[in-house]
Amino acid sequence: MMSYTENSKRVFLNTGTKFPQPVVWAVAVVKLAAARANQELGVLDKETAEAIQRAATELMEGIHAEDVVVDVFQTGSGTGINMNVNEVLAKRAGEILNRKVHPNDHVNMSQSSNDVVPTAIRIAAVKESVLRLLPSLQTIINSLQAISSKTYETVKSGRTHLRDALPVTLGQEMEAYARAFERDMKMVTQAVEDVRFLPLGGTAVGTGMNAPQGFQQTVIRKINEVTGLDFKQADSNFMRMRLLTDMVNLSGVLRGTALDLYRLSQDLRLMFSGPFTGLNEIDIPSQEEVAGSSIMPGKTNPITVESCLQASVQVMGLDHAVQLAGMLGEFELSMGIPLTGYDVVTEIDILSEALTKMAKVVIDNIVPNEEKMKKYAESSPSLITVISPRIGYDKASKIGKQLAKGMSIREALKELGYSDKEIDEILDLKKLVRGGYAVK
C-alpha cells in the first residue's frame, strides 16, 4: 500500500516550494508534545510515546528533514504536511522499537490536521518573530540611534517633493527612522501576543471530539515546556481554526515594517548617489567590497541597500497573498493554512535578514560628507524665506535672482556688502534646524 506522502505527489502541485524549516520544526514540536500528553493521560503506552518523542526531536534538529517533501500548494487544511510528518516519525519510531508504529493511530493520536497545522504555523510565526525579527529590529534601532546621535549637528538640506527645502540635520532624519522602527517593534510584539493562542485539541471542527479529557490543557503545557514561548490555550477553538485573522494581522505589521525599511533604503540610496553627478552626501565604504559593474571598472553601487529594497517589496507582496489566503475557507475551517504559514514565516525571515544587514553593513558604515551637506544647505533657495525678515524683502529678492544664476547665498550676501561675521550670523544653519524664528 502506498503511503499518503507518495500518493500526494500525483495530486498536489509539484512546484518545488517546500515548507521552511521553522514550520517543519513546529509540526515536530506538536507531535512531540502530543505524544507526551497522550502518555500522561494514559491513552498511549510509554514505549511508543518515547519513540515518537525521540523521532520528533531528531526532526526538530534537522535530521530526516529531506523526507518532508510535500509541496506548499496542497490541500487547504495542510493535511499534506501533517501526514508527511506523521509518516516520517512513524517510520523512525518503528525503527527505534523494531516494530510498527502507525502514523494515524499513534503519531496523530488525539489530533487532526485541522488543529495541528493551524497550531504549527502559529508556533513557527511566534518563534521566528521572537528569536529573529524582534532582535533584528532592536539591532537596526540601535544603529540608527547611534548615527543619529553622532550626526545630530550635521546640517544638510531638507527636501520635499525632491526639491530644496529648509535645513535639517542628518541626525534628525535618522532619528525619524529609529522612532519608526521602535513603533514597528511595539506593533510586532502586540501582534505576536494574539498569535500565541493555539487550537490544538480542537481536532476536526473545534469540538475536541476524539481527544481525551484534559488533552488541550496538557498538550499546550507540553508545547511550552519544549519551546519556552508562553503559548496559551485558544480562547475559541472554533475561531482559531476557522479564521487566520491573527496571522493576517501579523503579516500586516510586517508589511508596515517593510515599508519603513523601503523608505529608509530609498533615502540612503539617493544620499549615496554620485559621486560626481548625484547628491554624494554620504559614503558607504562597505558597498565597495563587491564590484558594482561588470563593465565599468571601479564603479561602486549601493548593493546592500538595493537588496533591502527588493526584500521589502517581496515582503509586501507576500502580505497581499496572506490577505487573500486568509479569505479562503467556509464554515468550520480555513482553506489557506499552508500558504499562510509559508508566507508569514518567509516574510519574517526575509525581513529579519534585511534589517540586520541594513544595520550592520550600511548604517554602521555611513560616513557623512559634511562639507557637501553644508554647501547644499547654504545653497537652498528656501533660506531666502528665513533671512528675509533680517535683510529685508528687496535684498532677499536680489539674492533670489543671484541664486538662479548659480551663486551661493553666502556669495550673494557678500556682494550686498555683508561681512563674513555678519554672514556667519545670518547663515547659522544650526539655528535653522531648531524651530522657532531663526532671525529677527
Instruction: Say how far apart CA 62 and CA 399 lie, in whole Å.
Output: 70
Is the peptide bond between 275 and the residue preceding it cis, with omega within 30 degrees of 0?
Answer: yes
| Catalytic (active-site) positions | 161, 293
**3-class state of residue 64 by DSSP:** coil
Domains and CATH numbers, the chain: 4-109 (1.10.275.10), 121-205+230-370 (1.20.200.10), 381-432 (1.10.40)
- Distance separating alpha carbons of residues 101 and 112, to the nearest angstrom: 18
Percentage with pLDDT > 90 across the chain: 80
Question: pLDDT of 380-412, one tens digit each?
Answer: 888 887 778 878 888 888 888 888 888 878 888
pLDDT in tens, 73-98: 999 999 999 999 999 999 999 999 99
Q: Which letter does DSSP use for residue 131 in this model?
A: I
Residue 52 has pLDDT above 60, yes or no: yes
What is the widest separation between alpha-carbon atoms in the chain?
100
Question: Phi, psi (5° rounding) for residue 164?
Answer: -60, 135
Three-state DSSP class for residue 108: coil
- φ and ψ at residue 159, rounded to 5 degrees: -140, 130
pLDDT at 294 over 70: no
The residue type at 53: Q
Q: How far apart are CA 59 and CA 160, in angstroms?
A: 54
Q: How far apart are CA 100 and CA 109, in angstroms?
A: 15
CB under 8 Å to 2, separation ≥6 — which residues?
A: none
Cα separation, 261 vs 352, whole angstroms: 11
Model confidence, pTM: 0.93
Angle at 374 between CA 370 and CA 378, to 5 degrees: 175
Phi, psi of 315 (to 5 degrees): -60, -45
Q: Closest Cα partner for 344 from 72, 59, 52?
A: 72
| 334: three-class secondary structure by DSSP | strand
Q: Work out the pLDDT band at 291, boundaries 50, 70, 90.
A: low
Distance between CA atoms of 335 and 329, rounded to whole angstroms?
Answer: 4
For the segment 306-314, the average pLDDT, to the nearest whole number, is 99
Q: Which amino acid is at 41?
A: L
Burial of 286 (0-12, 13-18, 19+ CB in 10 A): middle
User: Of the candidates 222, 362, 216, which has an alpha carbon nearest to the alpha carbon of residue 289?
Assistant: 362
